[in-house]
Amino acid sequence: MKNKIPIIIDTDPGHDDALAIMFAVKSGIFDIKAITTVAGNSTIENTTRNARYILKLLDREDISVYSGSAKPLVRELIKAVVHGESGLEGIDPKNESKLTNDAVDKIIKIVKENENITLVTLGPLTNIARAIEEDNEAMKRVKQIVIMGGAIKVPGNKDRVAEFNIFVDPDAANIVFNFPVKKFLVPLDACNHVQLQLEDFEKLNGTSLYEPIMAMMKPYIENIFKDEGIKAALMYDPLTIYYLFNPDACKVKEYDLKIETKGELTRGMTVAELRSSTKDYNINVIETIDGESFKKDFINILKQEK
Ligand code: BDR
Ligand code: CA
């Protein structure tokens, strides 16, 4: 058995975050050092409660959850619409939220105490930027940061050109994108074509996750249809975990990418240098992911009962 990949998952659950956590936990290939929460899809109270709820469903409450930033670095929080007020419409978990307010400290501590930590970010980059600002040297020890966010050659999903996670906290994204460690980005470009339907989730019938997943996916699909005109469950965050699970299914290319922090119409745009002049590469972009392999692996992993 290969060594497990040591990771911290920084997240704002969210329906697709919930599926990503389920996939990461059930895949068995990760040593999940912590789940840290951030405000984004919903408030920090809700995203933290939702993270704990998902771990409870998975019978993995031994995994530590640390709550983090309640709002972006300098702006007010703009929540998502497709996840509903609670962040997990369809389920609306009632478990306790219990804020610990120590995600940034815990990220730094874990990175100091362990070699080769991979940070996986599934929400706005506020916690990671704060950790970088607080202990720059410690944060240089991370092996890599794998980021769900951005729209390179496709339209945004929050605004004309901006993807939600970067739109919510462009100032934090700017700090992280300029930070000199290896980074991978899973943007909308690689995610938009991977669209799951209720029939796909029907394959989980008979498993313990079937009912909660169906309850979540129905409103998620309806809300995406109302908001974006696509009748499907989009898999942004699970695809980000999938890059680590099966990198061979992904096409990766180096990019010179900057974050727009000032624009009125372009807030949070991931601006790529697409001209052929010399580029100052700062990030590896996952350009494509094999959607069929993802679907097959994703459903098979979620089906496993232990
Ligand atoms: C990202 O925004 C959130 O709504 C999703 O959870 C995902 O992380 C997609 O733009
Ligand atoms: Ca998310």
Confidence grade of residue 277 (pLDDT, cut at 50, 70, 90) = confident
User: Which structure tokens are listed for 286?
Assistant: 């996952």
pLDDT at 97: 79
Between CA 249 and CA 190 the distance in angstroms is 11
- Does the pTM surpass 0.85? The reply is yes
Provide the 3-class DSSP secondary structure of residue 277. Answer: coil
What are the structure tokens assigned to 225, written together? 């249809």
- Give the bridge partners for 196, in sequence order: 233
pLDDT at 1: 59
What are φ and ψ of residue 11, in 5° steps? -150, 160
Residue 5: HSE in the Cβ half-sphere, 13 Å Cα cutoff: 23
Mean pLDDT across the chain = 96
Task: Tell me if 157 CB under 6 Å of ligand 1.
Answer: yes
Atom of ligand 1 nearest to the CA of 149: 10
The answer to whether residue 55 scores a pLDDT higher than 90 is yes
Mind listing the pLDDT tens digit for each residue in 122-162?
999 999 999 999 999 999 999 999 999 999 999 999 999 99
Is 163 touching ligand 1 by the criterion CB < 6 Å? yes
Cα(294) to centroid of ligand 2, in Å? 18
Residue 7's pLDDT band (boundaries 50, 70, 90)?
A: very high
Predicted pLDDT of residue 279: 79
- DSSP bridge pairs for 254: 284
Q: Which ligand is nearest to the CA of 268?
A: 1
- pLDDT above 80 (res 278): no
Confidence of residue 285 (pLDDT cuts 50, 70, 90): very high
Q: Residue 88 in 3-state DSSP?
A: coil
| 41 ligand 1 Cβ < 6 A | yes
Mutate to test the pocket of ligand 1, among 23, 41, 85 (most ligand atoms within 8 A of CB): 41
Digit-coded pLDDT (tens) for 86-107: 999 999 888 887 899 999 999 9
CA–CA separation, 136 vs 231, rounded Å? 43
Give CA separation, 124 vs 12, 81, 112, 139, 201, in Å: 8, 15, 23, 18, 27
CA dist 17 to 171, 173, 256, Å? Answer: 22, 19, 27
Quick one: what percent of the chain has pLDDT higher than 90? 95
Residue partners of 268: CB distance under 8 A and separation at least 6: 156, 158, 159, 162, 163, 166, 167, 168, 170, 173, 259, 260, 261
- Phi, psi torsion values for 30, nearest 5 degrees: -115, 145
Give the number of the ligand closest to the Cα of residue 168: 1
pLDDT digits 0-9 by tens, 25-42:
999 999 999 999 999 999
